[in-house]
Amino acid sequence: MTTAGLFDLTGKTAFVTGAGSGLGFAMAECFAENGAKVVLAELNRTNLDAALAKLADRGFTCDGRIVDAAHSKQIESAMDCTRKEFGALDIVVANAGISAGPGPMTDIGTIENVAPERWREVLDINLSGVFSTIQCAARHMKAQRSGRIIVTASTAGFRGDPMVGYAYAATKAAVVNLVRQAAMDLARFDVHINAIAPGPFRTSIGGGRMRQSETESAFAETLPLGRIGNPDEIKGAALLLASKASSFMTGAIIPVDGGALSW
């Protein structure tokens, strides 16, 4: 096989949560660009319709599903429909996630000000939602004895981060070990699970605060590269983990972070 063939996804079926914008959309677009049939799972109907229209304008015919990642039955139903329609479930990306709000270096982000309802909401989506997505994917992939699962973790899962909220840091740390635990479980079925740990990217998370110049500048100052990432810059790592190029990788966490974890 040629090197280019290692990254060919022709004939593969991919299912991506949180795919209506940001990193999820970039990964879905990447898979379509490389030949995969892609199903976009997204809670926000407006974002989903806009994402599907963008892909259609580029000549890609993709499917969409309205899915709340906090509800395991919705994830299960959407994934079952995808498997039934396309005959296989080759790539699943557990990407859906939300911000926990300001970090502990702000007056409202200190530990005594963390609202219990916000804590539960972030855990429901960022941790339980990821677990449910992995669990549903595993059922299908173990049966077919093949598959790639990709999880969106975060550099905040590796260290304290003054720029993110408590629940976000806690859930992303848990997700890192969840991936490693699942890798041991699924390897004997030739199901590979790996994660990407993004640093700060220009996305709509946190109500779009990452697109605000003040916030962007604050994050950029923490990075060796001196800038935050563009969503397209996640595509290389996503394609690697979705393709044959990662055939000897499982349980890995790949930082795509502008050098954040280097200091």
Q: Six-digit token pair at 93?
A: 């990306």
pLDDT of residue 94: 98
Spatial separation of the C-alpha atoms in residues 16 and 14, rounded to whole Å: 7
CB 210 within 8 A of CB 168: no
pLDDT of residue 44: 97
Percentages of the chain per state (helix, strand, coil), in multiples of 5: 50, 15, 35
Amino acid sitting at position 38: V
Domains and CATH numbers, the chain: 4-254 (3.40.50.720)
What phi and psi, each to the nearest 5 degrees, are found at residue 154?
A: -175, 155
pLDDT of residue 1: 67
Q: What stretches of the chain adopt beta strand conformation (E)?
A: 13-17, 37-42, 63-66, 91-94, 147-152, 191-198, 253-256
Q: Which residues are catalytic?
A: 168
pLDDT of residue 206: 63
- Cβ contacts of residue 10 below 8 Å, gap of 6+? 34, 35, 36
Q: pLDDT per position in the chain (263 positions), as tens? A: 678 799 999 999 999 999 999 999 999 999 999 999 999 999 999 999 999 999 999 999 999 999 999 999 999 999 999 999 999 999 999 999 999 988 898 888 999 999 999 999 999 999 999 999 999 999 999 999 999 999 999 999 999 988 899 999 999 999 999 999 999 999 999 999 999 999 999 988 766 666 778 888 888 998 999 999 999 999 999 999 999 999 999 999 999 999 999 98
Q: What's the pTM value of the predicted model, to 2 decimals?
A: 0.95
